[in-house]
Amino acid sequence: MDFLPIFVATKDRKIVVVGHGQMADAKCRGVLKTAANVMVFADTPSVEAQGWAAQGLIDLRSGLPSAQDFEEATLFYAAHADDSINDALADMARSAGAIVNVLDRTDACDFITPAIVDRDPVVVAIGTEGSAPVLARQIKADVEAMLPAELGRFARLANAFRSKVRALPEGLPRRNFWKAFFKPERIQAAGSDEVIKASLEALLSQHLEAEPEAGSVAFVGAGPGDPELLTLKARRHIHEAEVIIYDRLVGKGVLELARREAKFIDVGKKGFGAQVTQDKINEYLVREALAGWKVVRLKGGDPSVFGRLDEELAALAEAGIDSTVVPGITSAAAGAASLKQSLTRRDRNSSITFMTAHDAKGYAEHDWRQLVRSGQALAIYMGRKSATFLQGRLLMAGADTDLVITCVENISRPEERRFTSTLSEFAQRLDDDNWNGPLIIFVGIGNERVANTVKTPALQEVSHGTY
């Protein structure tokens, strides 16, 4: 992000606007929703601006502001038709300590004004960093339709009730109370203020009498990286988590779905490199759950595929801690989807083996002759460091040098890339092109007609949803 979304205190603060016309009036309408002191400079003010001045809502003046007019100003909107005047006034305003917005010139702005959905005190701000105002308005319209008109009144009454809710323990008990209060059906059935207050009192009594929830652990499959590939249950657990223990294969976009207040513990492992021991991970899980927290153990792909799930479940069971497992899309499935290939195909392979290239002792040994038999394909996880070893073992077991090998790195992410090669050449290709991201190696799967080709998609931001 180039602009950090924040809310600026404007009550009794001076805001200066220079310019006239539709855009200057639009800026005024936004700031007039606050309790700011608004000073507007316009030689030919609109009828609407004149009306605001007549009501005492703005201090309307002609000409241009002087340095004195910017004293103690918090914000300055420059909407003059002449860019040189806007630039000069912007410098003057900054010298006085104000932050500046220049109409239709994001590069000259200290801040930008988002599209706003107003359910005061609930306010939703939507911005596109000036790149697509029409898109921001489209999203605003959709959000407007989602939020009940009564939401603001509910929020105001809830704010007045916060001191009583402090009787509940901090953290999950209080969040559960507010989640129950703000259920859509409760808001939609809102009555008078007295009815809502009585509802708050009754709900609080229920939560005060409830037994405190014990800590628990949810093992959540984070998929290959794209947040859109998460299940709805996975999203819910991530959003509700108080502690998130995650590995290095979890995509950044997935972590961003968590609450900012959550505690994050990075236990990333990397083959043949520094890592957090399994015993230490088990210790973290038990410690945080026994402290009463709702813990999510985020694992890349599916928790049950090369994720040492059984060891962590056993540690929790021994400590008497409740747990649940939420499956995710494993990398082999996501990689095949990216390649537009089936994991099994009639007349090619009737079975596929998921295998890892190394284990706790180093390179992993397998029954290589069995693995290269006809009608078999392989999906090899964590094979980057072991590529040369894999190549040698497969060749020694009798695999054809022209056997199709497809490597996919950073599956489902903007930086995904892949190539199709042969058993005799793929290991060198990995070294030559510096393939160091999360990687899966398919043996016997790929487009045989495009062997020795590489595809690197142009990097772009992943688009989530319809916007």
**With contact defined as beta carbons under 8 Å apart, do 204 and 224 qualify?**
no
**With contact defined as beta carbons under 8 Å apart, do 379 and 440 qualify?**
yes
Q: Residues 6 or more apart from 235 whose CB is under 8 A from it?
A: 257
Active-site pick, 247, 294, 299, 385: 247
Q: Hey, what are 207's tokens?
A: 């939560």
Q: Residues 6 or more apart from 376 whose CB is under 8 A from it?
A: 349, 351, 352, 353, 370, 444
Q: At what angle do helices 151-165 and 172-181 cross, to 10 degrees?
A: 150
Q: Hey, what are 30's tokens?
A: 């936004």
Active-site pick, 83, 142, 269, 433: 269
CA 401 vs CA 40, 369, 444: distances in Å:
77, 15, 12
Around 81, how many Cα atoms within 13 Å sit in the side-chain half-sphere?
6
247 flagged as catalytic = yes
What is the C-alpha R_g of the chain? 30
Helix (H) or strand (E) holding 421: strand 417-422
Q: Residues 6 or more apart from 5 whose CB is under 8 A from it?
A: 114, 125, 127
Which residue from 46, 104, 53 is spatially nearest to 77, judged by alpha carbons? 104
d(CA 219, CA 275): 20
Spell 97-109 as b/e; 16+ CB within 10 A means b: ebebbbbeeeeeb
The SS3 call for residue 362 is strand
DSSP state of 251: -
Which residue from 329, 333, 313 is spatially nearest to 321, judged by alpha carbons? 313
β-pairing verdict for 58-61 and 73-78 = unpaired
Alpha helices in 319-401 (DSSP H): 331-339, 368-371, 387-396
| Preceding omega of 121 cis (within 30 degrees of 0) | yes
294 flagged as catalytic = no
Active-site residues, by number, are: 247, 269
